[in-house]
């Protein structure tokens, strides 16, 4: 069984390295973008992060306006707290136009301590 404590912490920030390579451009850019998505490190981008309730609500509202059927936000909140806040925000701002149902989940996000990855899907 793999034990994180058996290995030293990396001194290189993998997210920064990948985003720098993407910014630099080149033929490998699509591969770096795919690695970012596959490792779920793309959620470390500012467009995904909400550090408090108001930021969370604003990001949800922004995604509504963009008519995104699926909203993903990295939220500084426990999983239970995040789910309660999703309900609260939906209660305040309703469903996006045309949506009849919603499903949502929160999962731990190991790359940023204290944050949960919240996924909200409208149908």
Shared domain for 53 and 17, answered yes or no, is: no
Shared domain for 31 and 70, answered yes or no, is: no
| Domain coverage including residue 105 | 46-123
**Residue 1 Cα distances to 4, 5, 6, angstroms:** 10, 12, 11
Beta bridge partners, 52, equal: none
Shared domain for 122 and 78, answered yes or no, is: yes
Shared domain for 85 and 69, answered yes or no, is: yes
pLDDT at 65: 87
Question: Residues 6 or more apart from 75 whose CB is under 8 A from it?
Answer: 50, 56, 82, 85, 106, 115, 116, 117, 118
Shared domain for 71 and 104, answered yes or no, is: yes
pTM metric for this prediction = 0.83
CATH number at residue 117: 3.40.50.150
pLDDT at 27: 97
Shared domain for 11 and 59, answered yes or no, is: no
Token pair for residue 91?
A: 């209660």
Q: Work out how many domains the chain is built from and give that number.
A: 2
Pick out the chain residues at pLDDT < 70: none
Token pair for residue 78?
A: 């426990």
């Amino acid at each position: 069984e793999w034990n994180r404590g058996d290995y030293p912490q990396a001194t290189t920030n993998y997210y920064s390295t990948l985003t720098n390579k993407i910014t630099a451009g080149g033929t490998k850019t699509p591969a770096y973008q795919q690695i970012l998505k596959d490792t779920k490190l793309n959620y470390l981008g500012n467009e995904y992060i909400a550090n408090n309730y108001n930021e969370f609500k604003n990001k949800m509202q922004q995604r509504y306006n963009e008519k995104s059927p699926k909203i993903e936000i990295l939220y500084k909140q426990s999983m239970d707290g995040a789910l309660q806040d999703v309900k609260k925000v939906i209660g305040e701002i309703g469903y996006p136009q045309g949506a009849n149902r919603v499903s949502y989940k929160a999962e731990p996000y190991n790359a940023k301590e204290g944050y949960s990855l919240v996924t909200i899907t409208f149908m």
